[in-house]
Amino acid sequence: MCRNIAVLSYISISQVSQVKETMGAETESQDKHEQERPKPSLTQEQFLSWKRQKDAAVSARKAEVSRKRAEDIAAGRVQMNGRELFLHEPWVFDNSQY
């Protein structure tokens, strides 16, 4: 919009009316195009059903990853991070001997 204002300052007054007519025609064609588009027919119940399914799939995937990680740690295939080491072997962090 700011670009149009800068352009308008360099044209004559007779050309201003032509530009306004052109801009009006463009907005009318955009309005017609928007009105022709069909509205999506998605109800709130359908959306909530989809959302519950998606959340269930995400939580199942996280649970599977967590289970596999715990299994790999128990088998010694992966190295534990600090939190996992603290939870599984807290004696490592015991500073009472020093």
Decide: 8 and 19 in contact? Cβ < 8 Å: yes
Q: What pLDDT score was predicted for residue 40? A: 75
Tokens representing 43? 């109800």
Q: What pLDDT score was predicted for residue 52? A: 98
Mean pLDDT by 10 residues, the chain (98 residues): 53 70 67 71 94 98 96 91 89 81
Please state, in angstroms and rounded to a whole number, the distance separating the CA atoms of residues 70 and 87.
12
* Global pTM exceeds 0.85: no
Q: What pLDDT score was predicted for residue 46? A: 95
Tokens representing 48? 């909530």
Q: What pLDDT score was predicted for residue 54? A: 98
**């534990």: which residue's tokens?**
80
Q: What pLDDT score was predicted for residue 44? A: 93
Decide: 88 and 74 in contact? Cβ < 8 Å: no
Please state, in angstroms and rounded to a whole number, the distance separating the CA atoms of residues 82 and 33.
58
Q: What pLDDT score was predicted for residue 96? A: 83
Decide: 69 and 78 in contact? Cβ < 8 Å: yes
Please state, in angstroms and rounded to a whole number, the distance separating the CA atoms of residues 36 and 30.
10
Domain definitions of the chain by residue range:
2-36, 44-93
